[in-house]
Structures are given as structure tokens and as C-alpha cells.
Chain A
Amino acid sequence: MMTLFFLTGILVLTYAMLVCHRIPALIQNFRLQSLFLFLVTLDFAVRHREAKVFVVAGLLLLVKVILIPSFLSRLVKKIKVDERLGLFLNPLLSLISALFLTWGASVFCSWFLYTRQTAVFAAFVVSITVVLVGFFIMVFRMKALSQIVGLLVMENGIFLLASVMAGGMPFFVEIAIAFDVFVCAIITGIFMYRINKVFTHIEVHRLTDLKG
């Protein structure tokens, strides 16, 4: 029951990302989503009393709830760009698209999954939805920052899948992935800083020097 509650929370927060107009809102939303992801993992750890999963949950809290969002917020303040995200698709249309993405995810999951457990099926659908919405944010928002957040959201979706199914992947893999996500956020952040420096904006659709 608890799991379903968390899943719903994550789904709602994922949809909420699509109505964000401003960069700080998107980052805070991501922070909240990561917090729910942390809760899912913690829930699993408490129920199964697995020390390693506690560590993974702690790592999740540190990296995705605290470090990455703070780093991104600080970076955005530092480069002083226009805080509007720049929507190619307005919030309502984005939401409707997200509903269709969820429907697509459930069709896809029922195609290859023969489970009777509602929780597992729901976890699959929510995870795939989160991945798809992350991708949607990357494509339909103008700023470089939204691509970073979109990528992190996609990764959150996959983390969720692994957590709900089996309390996460093998311990050392989980640690390595957390490290990797952190490094990825830092490096993309640095590149966003450089883009702003060379182009004096961070709008990805205006990066069109290279073609063909």
C-alpha cells in the first residue's frame, strides 16, 4: 500500500514538472521527486532490513536530493540567465501528452510483463512514464538546464524501477551509478556554464553552428 502511495506521489510530481514555467521551480520539483525516490528505497530497506539498501538510500538522499539540486540552483544564480524555461508546448498540451505517454507505457508493459501483482505492474508503468517524461522535458523545453534535469529525471525513473523491483541493483553497481550520475550532473553543468560564456545564452535550439 505504501509503495502505491509513493508511486502515485512520484507520478504526480512528474506531471507537475510539465507545468513548471521557471527554472528554480523545475529544480525544486526534481528535488521533491528524488525525495520520494529516497522514501521508496527507505521503505524497502525498512521492510527487508537490509543494511546495504539503507546505504543506497542514504547515498540517494545525499546525491540527488541535496548535492545535485543545490549545485544546479547555485549555477543558475551564478550565470544570471533569464529564468523562464521557454516552452515549445504549453503546460496543458504537455500534460495531455504526458497522459498519452503513460498510456503508451502501460501498453508497452502489458506487452512483455506477465505479472499479476498490481504493485509491480504499477511500478513498471510509473517508471517508464518517468523516463518518457524526462525525455519529453529534454525535447520540448528550450534551456540547456532543462536538458540536464530531463536526463536526471530519466535516470530517476530507472532507479525507481530497480528500487521497487528488488531494492535496487547489486550494491557496488548502485554506488558506481550514483557516483556516475553525480559526475554527469557536474560536467553537464560546467558545459552549460561554458555555453553561456561563449554564446551568452543557454537556449539549445539556437545552437546551430554544426549541421549536415
Chain B
Amino acid sequence: MKKSIIKRIKSKKRFFPLYLMLLPGMVYLFINNYIPMGGIIIAFKQYNYRKGIFGSAWNGLKNFVFLFKTNDAWIITRNTLCYNLVFIILGTTAAIAVSILLSEIRKERAKKTYQVVILLPYLISIVVVSYIVYGFLSSEYGCMNHLLPWLGGDKVMWYSTPTYWPVILVIVNLWKNIGYNTVLYYATLIGIDPSYYEAAVVDGATRWQRIRYITIPSLIPTISILTLMAISKIFYSDFGLFYQVPMNSGPLIDVTNTIDTYVYRGLMETSNIGMSAAAGVYQSVVGFVLVVAANWIVGRFDKESTLF
């Protein structure tokens, strides 16, 4: 009994520098993510600047009503969820594929070049991205509308034709974010013990078999953690992607309206703090429930791969 306590203290001591290194991050998280949670209170108040957060009158659930009241409630929830699901599935698959391809490249120089090239879009501001897209799709000068007649097709008024936009948005999102996820998976890949592969080669495994039986299983914990994190944000949408990239074009709203853009459009003119706070609380609560549920499901299959 005593021995184990001493052992524990000893191990604590051994890890003390690590805890110390953790401290700045924890402080940051506390200040930035925990203290502002007090603001949740605003969602239940009729906010008055003069009376402040605590002095304002209680409002019950009135601030939440606008999120569910309209026919749009279904559309924005569907859009937010479906786009994010597609992004998670396609994004993960593509990132894994690309990172495996990267790891198979022998020449160091080529490898570095590819890495930079696929990471670059991630670093471009979404406003710039929206103009790159505009360069392709502008009805007058866009390169698509010059290419299509040349190939024998008709010109398309892209910004007033909703049909194409689910595909366009998925492509843009994939192009923009694939680099970052690839780097994460690639980091895991190069951490795999080379002796596994050596042993497999000795046993006569083909390249495909090595990927199938060594690489992918080793990636599973990373995949599951990244996916779980993505699920916690499934009720949030990338505002820039859904607002800037379609250039806030009215006719596209049915396929580009998500919870975030709905709140923005609805409250731009009325600027009601209580209602925007309510939308934020709603998104966080649903995200929280989803991530706990998903984590529990993952835990039933494989304890090692859970987030917490």
C-alpha cells in the first residue's frame, strides 16, 4: 500500500516538468474557453446594455424560438448536418489516401514539394478563395463559361443555379482542407515502427497488403480522434465557405444556408445579442451531446481510440 503511494509520488515527480509545460495551455484554455461560458446566461436574457449581463431581465426560452419557428429550421439543420457529414467522410478518406501516397514517395525533395503544394490552400483566406472560385464561375469572364462552349456545352449562370452548388462546395472544402488533415495523418504514418514493414516484406507481403494490414490499422486511433473532434463541431458550419464562396447569392440560399449563415442574415439588421447567444448555446449543446454519444459508441469497439 505504502509502496504504491511512494511510487505514485515518484512518478508524479518524474512527470512534473511535463505538467509544468501543460500549464500555459491550460491557462489559455481556461481564460479563452471556460470563463466565456458564463456568457451562456445572455441566451436566457433580454439583454440591455445599460443594465449589463446580470441586471438584464430574464427572458426564459424566448430567444431560442426563432431557430425553430420557421420552415427554414429543417433546411438549415439538414444543410449543416449533411455537408459536415460529407466533409468528414470524404475529407478523412482523401486525407488518408494522400498521406499514404506521400509516404510511398521515395525522393525527399519531391515529397517536400508535394506537401507544400497541398498545404498551401489551407493557408489562403476564404475571401481570396471566394474570388478564385469567382474566377472560374463568373458568368461573363469565368473560365468555366469559356470552357463549356468550347467543349460544345451551354453557358451556365452559376450564381443563380443551386443544383451545382453542393458539389462545388464539397470540392472547394476538400481542396482547401485536405492539406492540413494530410499532415496530421502523415505525422502518424512516419511514427509507425519500420520493423513491422521489414517483417512483412520478409514474409512476402505485397505493397497493398502492407497498407491494408499495417498502415491502416495503425492509423485507426488518429482517425477516430480526428473524427470525434469533427463530430463535436457538426452543428457548426464554416461561415466563410457558405457565405463568402457563394458570394451571398440569394438564389443559392436553399443549398447554402446553414445555421451560422441563417443567424447572421437574420440578426444583421436587428443585432439582438440574446438571440445570437441562443444560437451559439444551441449549437454547443447539440455538439456536446453528439460527441459524448459518438465517443461512447467508439468506446464499445475499442477503448484505445476514444477521445476521453
- Do A and B come from the same complex? no
Write the residues of chain B forming the contact surface with A, with a CB cutoff of 8 angstroms.
none
Write the residues of chain A forming the contact surface with B, with a CB cutoff of 8 angstroms.
none
